[in-house]
Amino acid sequence: MKTQLRLGVIGVGAVVREIYQHLYFRSHYSDLLEICAVADPNEEYRNWFSDLAGLPANRRFASYQEMFAQVELDAVQVNTPDHLHCGPTVDALNAGLDVIVPKPTAATVKDAHAMIQAAKQSGRFLGIDFHKREDPRIKEAEARFQNGRYGTLQVAVLYMLDKLFVANPNHTPRFFASPDFAEKNTPVSFLTVHMADALMKIVNLVPVQVRATGYSQKLPSLKPIAVNGYDLVDTEIRFSTGATAHILTGWALPDTAWSTTVQSSRLICSDGMIDLGLDTPGLREIHREGIFEVNPLFRNFEQDHTVTGYGISSPGRLYQQALALRNGKLSAADHDAAFSPMALGFHTTLVLEAAEKSLAEGKRLASGATLGTVVDLPQLVAAQLGPEAVREYGLG
């Protein structure tokens, strides 16, 4: 029986620096993983990670195809930008490898569907790290809602707002490596997917319609490097029951905000409501640099240098499932749950693609606001994947 997964890491940029390096090397899940190789076209990132992992020169690759050809692996983690998740994931699954992917599954339903089908056909494990699902507050809200405590969801409002430095290429040091990060990514792809996924996990409802409104007012005014991107997006989601959610996401809060990410939500139901105070995660500190909220629930540096928190336990548990499947120990119930559309993030990708489509087809006002169009989700899936996929993913 295998006790470790021989892991290849594809992409070692910001998400590895901020989260996954702690999972790989300083967590309770590190013993599950033998870091065997890395693939990244950026030589600086590739060598930084390889030095950290103690990888020799012949285990450092510019392309994942070279890594697959030269190194024997059990699994890979695909840490590429969202729109590049599909290719290496499908190739890895078809090569008999298990795959872990950070949220979201993909940027389009075509890519998400291709990844899901490859996992089903290969019999290998595909895990999507939506780490908010492991936030104990989200899990408790899900349990209470599903037990009927609050009745039927009517309206939900959620927000997730980042400090400006997250998207500002003029900030020193840059939070993300790419100066055009906020042009290539939107608050929808980076933040809305988190809150949409968490909401759908809590209420277990299928989205059927999306309309987005975007605001480009702060980022274009930045100097000396202006950014052609959205400061804030309001994504309106309508569910099959008629329930509606507004998810407000952006990255133009002043850098003096008390937390890198300020976030919360309210779910109003027929028999009650839930307030999730996500922007007060447990520790407020006051010192010479200001007042700050610290989120030890997400990532907590223990005195023995072990890193814990749901940002680590979420992908860690996916690796436990992958190892269990490889050892023939994953139960049928756990296998079915792991391969459900919700677990694999299909509906979250659907909301993402629809919100981006809504903005792309919307009307741009002189004020910098963009009034998005209404996007019918069953029609979008039918057009992209055919009518059978509409039924497969519970949309009709």
Residues 146-187 have pLDDT tens digits of 999 999 999 999 999 999 999 999 999 888 767 788 888 899
Residues in Cβ contact with 360 at an 8 Å cutoff, skipping those fewer than 6 apart = none
Domain boundaries along the sequence of the chain: 5-132+304-329, 136-297+346-392
CA distances from 145 to 2, 201, 204, 304 (A): 38, 10, 9, 37
Long-range Cβ contact pairs of 91-96 (< 8 A, separation 24 or more): 91/64, 91/65, 92/64, 92/68, 93/118, 93/119, 93/122, 93/124, 93/126, 94/118, 94/122, 95/68, 96/122, 96/124
For the chain, what percent of residues have pLDDT higher than 90? 91
- pLDDT of 3 higher than 70: yes
Please give the Cα distance from 142 to 144 (Å, whole number). Answer: 6
**Cβ-Cβ contacts under 8 Å for 331 (sequence gap 6 or more):** none
Decide if 300 contacts 308 (C-beta within 8 A).
yes
pLDDT one-digit tens code per residue, 209-245: 999 999 999 999 999 999 999 999 999 999 999 999 9
pLDDT grade, residue 72 (50/70/90)? very high
Domain 5-132+304-329 carries which CATH code?
A: 3.40.50.720
**Is residue 81 exposed (0-12), middle (13-18) or buried (19+ Cβ within 10 Å)?**
middle
Burial of 199 (0-12, 13-18, 19+ CB in 10 A): buried
> pLDDT class for 14, splitting at 50, 70, 90?
confident
**pTM beyond 0.85:** yes
Residue 88 above 80 pLDDT?
A: yes
Place of tokens 């795959």: 99
Which tokens in the block code for residue 215? 């605001």
Please provide the average confidence, as pLDDT, over all residues in the chain. Answer: 96
What does the pLDDT read at residue 28?
97
* Average confidence (pLDDT) over 95-119: 98
Provide the pLDDT confidence category of residue 279 given band limits of 50, 70 and 90.
confident
pLDDT of residue 177: 63
Query: Do 5-132+304-329 and 136-297+346-392 agree at the fold level?
Result: no
User: Looking at residue 176, what is its pLDDT?
Assistant: 72
Model confidence at 23: pLDDT above 90: yes
Lowest mean pLDDT across 71-80, 175-184, 262-271, 321-330: 175-184
What CA–CA distance (Å, rounded) separates 304 from 283? 20
Tell me the average pLDDT across 133-156: 97
Q: Is the Cα torsion angle 248, 253, 257, 260 positive or negative in sign? A: positive
What is the arithmetic mean of pLDDT over 6-21? 95
pLDDT of amino acid 142:
97
Integer Cα distance of 260 and 166 in angstroms: 8
What pLDDT score was predicted for residue 70?
98
CATH level 3 topology of 136-297+346-392: Dihydrodipicolinate Reductase; domain 2 (3.30.360)
**How far is residue 57 from each of residues 9, 48, 49, measured CA to CA in Å?**
15, 12, 12
The sheet carrying 75-78 orders its strands as 60-61, 33-39, 5-10, 75-78, 98-102, 126-129
Q: Is the pLDDT of residue 112 over 80?
A: yes
Instruction: Using alpha carbons, select from 89, 96, 102 the residue that is nearest to residue 124.
Output: 96
3-state secondary structure of 186: coil
Query: Is pLDDT at 280 greater than 90 in this prediction?
Result: no
